[in-house]
């Protein structure tokens, strides 16, 4: 019984250590998927947090307006069925190519640039420089 308790304690400590090192932070592809799912669910504030500080500062409340209209467009397509991604990471910059398949059968393809800010991947608008 003591051995099992000790193993559980060690496991919890290891997981906490790994989390504090940032090993459980989402990569660029996961950020893009989270963004689309947040917009789909109408979680505009959460989706806005996925943009870089520069984008948030430049566009401010306009981001919320655009994402709200995207929520309606996704809803009209029946929601998101799947999101396929392919990422290319170079240092603190990444490009994620994506294909969103909607429940009505339509698809959307594109790419999103991301930048690492304070250890987290954030969406950039326009090409990475």
For residue 25, what is the DSSP state?
Answer: S
DSSP E strand stretches across 1-92: 80-90
Confirm whether 95 is domain-assigned: yes
Domain extent at residue 63 = 26-124
Confirm whether 110 is domain-assigned: yes
Could you tell me which residues come within 8 angstroms of residue 36 by beta carbon, excluding any fewer than 6 positions away? 74, 80, 83, 98, 100
Confirm whether 19 is domain-assigned: no
| Total of domains in the chain | 1
Q: pTM of the predicted model, to two decimals? A: 0.78
Length of the chain: 129
Confirm whether 11 is domain-assigned: no
Confirm whether 10 is domain-assigned: no
Confirm whether 9 is domain-assigned: no
List the CATH number of the domain containing 55.
3.10.450.50
Confirm whether 102 is domain-assigned: yes
Each residue's pLDDT tens digit, 67-90: 999 999 999 999 999 999 999 999
Each residue's pLDDT tens digit, 14-46: 554 444 444 568 999 999 999 999 999 999 999
DSSP E strand stretches across 1-129: 80-90, 93-102, 107-117, 120-124
């Amino acid at each position: 019984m003591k051995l099992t308790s000790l193993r559980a304690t060690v496991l919890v400590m290891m997981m906490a250590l790994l989390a504090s090192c940032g090993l459980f932070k989402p990569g660029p592809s996961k950020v893009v998927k989270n963004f689309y799912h947040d917009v789909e669910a109408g979680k505009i504030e959460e989706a806005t947090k996925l943009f870089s500080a520069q984008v948030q500062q430049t566009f401010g409340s306009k981001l919320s307006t655009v994402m709200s209209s995207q929520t309606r467009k996704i809803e009209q397509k029946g929601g998101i069925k799947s999101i396929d991604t392919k990422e290319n990471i170079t240092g603190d910059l990444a490009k994620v190519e994506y294909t969103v398949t909607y429940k009505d059968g339509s698809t959307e393809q594109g790419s999103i640039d991301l930048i690492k800010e304070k250890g987290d991947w954030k969406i950039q608008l326009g090409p990475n420089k």
